[in-house]
Amino acid sequence: MNKHDPGGAKAPTYVEVNPNVADETPEEKRIWAKVSRRVMPLAILGLFIAYVDRVNIAVVGSSMRESLSLSPSVFGLAAGLFSIGYILFEIPSNLAMDKFGAKIWIARIMVTWGLITVATTFVVGANSLYVARLLLGIAEAGFYPGLLFYFGLWFPAKRLARAYSLFQLGIPISLALGSVLTAQLLRLDGVWGVHGWQWVFIIEGAAAVILGIITLFYMANGPKDAKWLTESERTVVQSALKAESAGAHAGGSHSGSALMSVVKSKAAWYYTVTFFFILVGFYAVTYWLPQIIQERFTVGPVQAGFISALPWCLSAISLLLVSKRVQRTGNRGPTLAVVLIVCAAGLAVSALTGSAVVALIGLCVAACVQAGVPLLMSFPSQHFPGAQAAVALALVNSVANLGGFVGPWLLGVLRESTGDNQAGLLMLSGSFIIAAVLALGLARQLRTATSVVSTNTRATSTD
């Protein structure tokens, strides 16, 4: 554990076992494809439902504000409080997953956040909504970084980058399809005397509970417990992981010592601050997008929900394009900076234009920030070995999610004080610019690591 000193003078050690996927035998490729088909779909579906339940408040926001008499600042605060609960319990949740096992803990997370989503049906005002959003963040804490760590139990480093990108693709897809699904559920308004926004929480929360139960029976804690692998297939998977662990997983057990090592790392905090400024803009756009569209186009909440899917469809496409470019060039830091500058420009255009159509185009461009998230998260996962990687992912993701509180809340406050979204959108544009400047220093932080698992052969030299 103590051998990992990010501030030390020791040169980085790059551990690459068959670093090129093309070097694999046909049998190895078949085995990894089988692992992907078994591991990835459930994870992506879980992420889909997680983001639907996390941000469905965006689509139902105007209906809830009218029904519960909520001001813009109250709605922004309620939306952002999710991130506070998430921050406080992210690392403890990740540590608990190591104790109880991935299957039990991830299933527990799903069932808990599903029940709290259903319970949000019964909020009656600002205070009860605050509590519900805070509890939702606590319940979901640990899910995203927990799955990132779970992938590390299945895939060698050379395949992790692709797994992360595929997993990340579930976010814009969930935001796009989730907007359409939630808008459709709003049409149930009045059925059995229940508001449309209440039906949203009931049905979408129940989906998480059901998936959590399925996870408990379907998920394996690792290759050793996977009954769907033959003995020879299990040997190939475990051998690939063990070959890397000798040089890369010097991080010790998933414990308090790993936590302290990561917390003392300046690089970990650099990654965290960069991600914070990204999330300030991302979550503000996510939570306020349907209401901004509703006002610009003078449409109802159902129509706004459908239109809100467009930016996230473009975001999914940009995620694929950026991922392919990085696989080809390895320039993660500079590419991330370019993505953020383009997104900043989109927000600025949306803020300053008088055309609703041009404003929507600007918001579509801004939503492409999602393409930069896997680039950012690849740095801490590559920087820290073994258990430190799990803790680092939890630290970066949890503390940076403070941006998920600051962004929506500030946009709500500025919207209430100025009467429009211009000042708020310009503020978010500035947040992306700050993140872009910091992105240019990510490679320098990575070079301070004493042991680096290379997920991309070129990335070790061209970042």
Per-residue pLDDT tens for 192-207?
Answer: 989 999 999 999 999 9
Q: What percent of the chain has pLDDT over 70?
A: 87
Dmax of the chain from CA atoms?
68
pLDDT at 241: 80
How far is Cα 295 from Cα 282, in angstroms, rounded to an integer? 20
Question: 223, 232, 268, 460: which is closest to 381 by C-alpha?
Answer: 268
How far is Cα 65 from Cα 74, in angstroms, rounded to an integer? 9
pLDDT at 198: 94
> Which residues does the chain have with pLDDT short of 70?
1-23, 157-158, 161, 244-259, 386-387, 390, 450-463
pLDDT at 258: 66
pLDDT at 1: 36
Instruction: Tell me the pLDDT tens digit for each residue of 175-187.
Output: 888 888 888 899 9
pLDDT at 458: 35
- Residue 180 Cα distances to 2, 52, 114, 134, 183, angstroms: 50, 10, 20, 25, 5
pLDDT at 21: 52
How far is Cα 374 from Cα 9, in angstroms, rounded to an integer? 28
pLDDT at 337: 93
pLDDT at 245: 60
The pTM of the full predicted model, rounded to 2 decimals, is 0.75
Q: Quote the tokens at residue 167.
A: 């997993």
pLDDT at 2: 38
